[in-house]
Amino acid sequence: MKKRPALQQLLGDIGTGRIDMVVVYKIDRLTRSLADFAKLVDQLDAAGCSFVSVTQAFNTSSSMGRLTLNVLLSFAQFEREVTAERIRDKIAASKKKGLWMGGVPPLGYDPHPERTRRELVLNEGEAVTVRRLFALYQELGCLNAVTRQADVEGLRSKHHAFKTSREQGNRPFSRGQIYHVLRNPTYLGRIRHKDRSFPGLHAATIDQALWDRVQAKLEATAMRKRGSKTANGSHPHALNVEAPLLGKLRDETGDILTPSHTKKGNRRHRYYVSNRLVSGKPDPAGWRLPAKAFEAAVACAIQDSLTRAARRHEVIVAKDVVVLQDASARAHSLAARIEREGIRQAAPLIDRGTIRKDRLGITLCAAALSNALELQVDELAGDAGRR
């Protein structure tokens, strides 16, 4: 409802007493959410404003009329959610076929001139910039150094003009922008969907060998120890104790979440931040998460997953009821230990994970999980390590 400025203006006019009645063609033209409609009705009642649908007869002053209204809204909300699911499924299926599903194309590519063709075409002028950025990182091995050199050479980000006449880009690269370019599998001829990528219909900008070398350097830089101490002056062992999720989770760009902290008086506040924010310029897409709350959320997710698997007897693959019950009891016990001890008990079970705006994905280490449950690795259910 917050993203509908015209509706917000209408509510403002209602609140000032300028409108006595709201007339709509159908109720779902106003909203398809039961929760939002309840709030709207409260605001209309408070302002003494009535509500009428010209094609649907109901009277909200009676119990039957309110029931009719709720039924209509329930179907409207169901229709909206089913439509959204179909759109998401269509986008996922199209990307698996290598199709470009719209948006601002990345540097080095343009949309196909035929609007019916969902694929990218190579922009040779911009592709030169992309190849230069990859070459600079292979040569220098440091994002800050690449950023400075790109500025010296006059390299610029992609210029894009929107239909609204708004323009963006054509500016010097930030450290975060260069990182996104180096991590984007589009330049390898692939289409990314969430945390996976599929062969695309467009031509690659760089070859596989260069991509592999750059990715290896990025991984090594993210994980390496800076001398005998970390960047904040603490010893590596102490950092592992203070940051049990060190090296285990990444953001949606593939950037590793690095422990950090600030001090306010005598109090020390811990965080997990996208690695590119540690020494680079601000990046709105980067993550900065309070460590205590984030660790609690990760531990809770693993605990809930183990509990669900135990309740459904999905911990191991076995047909013997007694064996299944024993494995479930062990999973319940492990979940209880995680509930008591938190992330210290849960972190050793994590193999890797990814955090996105709408999802936290965690893959458990099969060997660590089987050891904690005192079971054999080959006894675990097929998806026991994916949470």
Q: Does residue 77 sit within a domain? A: yes
Is 101 inside any structural domain?
no
Residue 104 inside a domain? The answer is no
Report strand pairing: 109-111 vs 120-122.
Answer: antiparallel
**Domain co-membership, 243 together with 380:** yes
Bridge partners of residue 268, in order along the sequence? 263
Sequence-distant (6+) residues with CB within 8 A of 127 are 108, 205
Q: Is the pLDDT of residue 27 over 90?
A: no
Same-domain check for residues 345 and 258 = yes
> Which is more confidently placed, 172 or 317?
172
Q: Is residue 103 part of a domain?
A: no
d(CA 327, CA 335): 12
Same-domain status, 114 and 188: yes
Asked if residues 91 and 51 have their Cβ atoms less than 8 Å apart, the reply is: no
Which residues are CB-contacts of 139 (< 8 A; sequence separation ≥ 6)?
Answer: none
Does residue 343 share a domain with residue 273?
yes
Task: Kindly compute the dihedral angle of the four CA atoms of residues 22, 26, 31, 32, in this order, to the nearest 10 degrees.
Answer: 160
Range of weakest confidence among 125-129, 265-269, 303-307, 361-365: 265-269
* Residues 251 and 286: beta-carbon distance below 8 Å: yes
Query: Into how many domains does the chain fold?
Result: 3
**Domain-located, residue 139:** yes
Computed from CA positions of residues 274, 276, 277, 283, in that sequence, does the dihedral angle turn out positive or negative?
A: negative
Which CATH number goes with the domain that contains 124?
A: 3.90.1750.20
Contact call for residues 252 and 238 (beta carbons, < 8 A): no
Handedness of CA 356, 357, 361, 362 (dihedral sign): positive
Whether 294 is covered by a domain: the verdict is: yes
What pTM did the predictor assign?
0.51
- Residue 285: what are its φ and ψ, rounded to 5°? -85, -10
Give the CA distances from residue 139 to residues 109, 129, 276, 305, in Å, rounded to whole numbers and listed in that order.
24, 15, 19, 44
Q: Last residue of a domain, which of 96, 125, 147?
A: 96
- Among 202, 221, 240, the domain boundary falls at 221
- Note whether 187 and 66 are same-domain residues: no
Q: What is the CATH number of the domain that holds 17?
A: 3.40.50.1390
Distance CA 11, CA 299 (A): 42
pLDDT at 382: 62
Q: List the single range of 193-207, 235-249, 360-374 with lowest mean pLDDT.
A: 235-249
Q: Give the domain-ending residue among 203, 221, 239.
A: 221
Cα 253 to chain centroid, rounded: 9
What's the rounded Cα separation, in Å, for the pair 249 and 230?
A: 18
Residues 251 and 216 in one domain: no
pLDDT digit string (tens) for 172-230? 998 888 988 999 999 999 998 877 889 999 999 999 999 999 988 888 776 654 444 44
> Domain range spanning residue 170?
109-221
Q: Which of 302, 279, 300, 284 is nearest to 362 (CA)?
A: 302
Check if the beta carbon of residue 184 is closer than 8 Å to that of residue 149. no
Clarify whether residues 269 and 198 are in a common domain. Answer: no
Considering the domain architecture, whether residues 281 and 136 belong to the same structural domain is answered as no
- DSSP 8-state symbol, 105: P
